[in-house]
Amino acid sequence: MSLFSVTVQLLEGFRTTFLVFALTLLFSLPLGLVIAFGSMSGFRPLRYFVRVFVWIIRGIPLMLQIFIIFYVPGFLLGQPVSSRFGTAIIAFSINYACYFSEIYRGGIESVSRSQFEAGQVLGMTRPQIFFRVILLQVIKRIMAPMSNEIITLVKDTALARVIMVVEILKVAENFASSQALIWPLFYTGAFYLLFVGLLTLLFGYTERKLGYFRV
């Protein structure tokens, strides 16, 4: 097994890693906003319901959530889940949406009350105030904690292998089990480092672009 052919096969595994990562972000970023609004809602039952939900999702291990979504339909409904990949995406999206929602909430609540009031005085509606005045400031303020979570997500994708979604770490383990090759396992670290490096550069760039918001 040459370095080249190992790299090619690991890249194949990294494609799954990347897909889990990208699809999770695609679903959890907007879902997190919905949850954030729910947890700030003036309607009490909704607010309590959402906060209990966030408590549960943040309170139990992601690995357990993956197991629950994967096994429970088969146990209780006799309707086995057919897509392991789909299960992973659902579990990751819900989990990360809850973490994101708290970051969003912190960001939104950190914007000075007087800006809402100024908007109201000018006769803007609540959605207008949110999207035209508040949102971009929130994005600027939450960039650092969000980049933390997003980088964590890159590495959390490795959890998908507990239900045998064959991502890069699993591919590397397969080398050890079927070809008696151990070094690919450690070589995977380079793939993660490179990808997180690119993300870090991207976050730095975005933060600079949002720099004009400094008050």
Partner 1 sequence: MKRIISLALTGVLLIGMVVSLASCSGGSGDSKLVCGITAYEPMNYRDGSGNWTGFDTEFAALVAQELGMKVEYQEIEWGSKYSELEAGTINCIWNGFTANTVETDTGKSRSEYVDFSYSYMLNQQCVVIKAERAGEFASAESLAGKTAAAEKGSAGETFAVEAVGEAGAVVDSAAQVNTFIEVKSGAVDFAVVDILLAKELAGSGDYSDLAIAGIELPSEVYAVGFKKGSDLTEKVNGAMKTLSDNGKLAELAEKYGLENSLQLDTSFAG
User: Is the Cβ of residue 185 or residue 196 nearer to partner 1 in the bound state?
Assistant: 185
**Least distance in Å: CB of 164 to partner 1?**
5
162 touching partner 1, by CB under 8 A: yes
Are the beta carbons of 169 and 191 closer than 8 angstroms? no
Stretch that binds partner 1, among 46-54, 84-92, 110-118, 142-150 (CB under 8 A): 84-92
The angle, 0 to 180 degrees and rounded to 10, between the axes of the packed helices 183-209 and 135-156 is 180
19 touching partner 1, by CB under 8 A: no
Are the beta carbons of 199 and 190 closer than 8 angstroms? no
166 touching partner 1, by CB under 8 A: yes
Amino acid at 175: F
**Least distance in Å: CB of 90 to partner 1?**
5
Q: Tell me the C-alpha distance between 28 and 23, whole Å.
A: 8
Are the beta carbons of 165 and 88 closer than 8 angstroms? yes
User: Is the Cβ of residue 93 or residue 101 nearer to partner 1 in the bound state?
Assistant: 93
Q: Would you say the C-alpha torsion 75, 16, 184, 150 has a positive or negative sign?
A: negative
Residue ranges in 21-80 that form contacts with partner 1 under rule CB under 8 A = 26-27, 30-31, 33-34, 70-75, 78-80
The span from the first CA to the last CA of the chain, in angstroms, equals 57
173 touching partner 1, by CB under 8 A: yes
Are the beta carbons of 98 and 35 closer than 8 angstroms? yes
How many residues bind partner 1, per CB under 8 A?
43
Q: Which residues bind partner 1 (CB under 8 A)?
A: 9, 26-27, 30-31, 33-34, 70-75, 78-87, 89-90, 93, 127-128, 131-132, 162, 164, 166, 173-174, 176-183
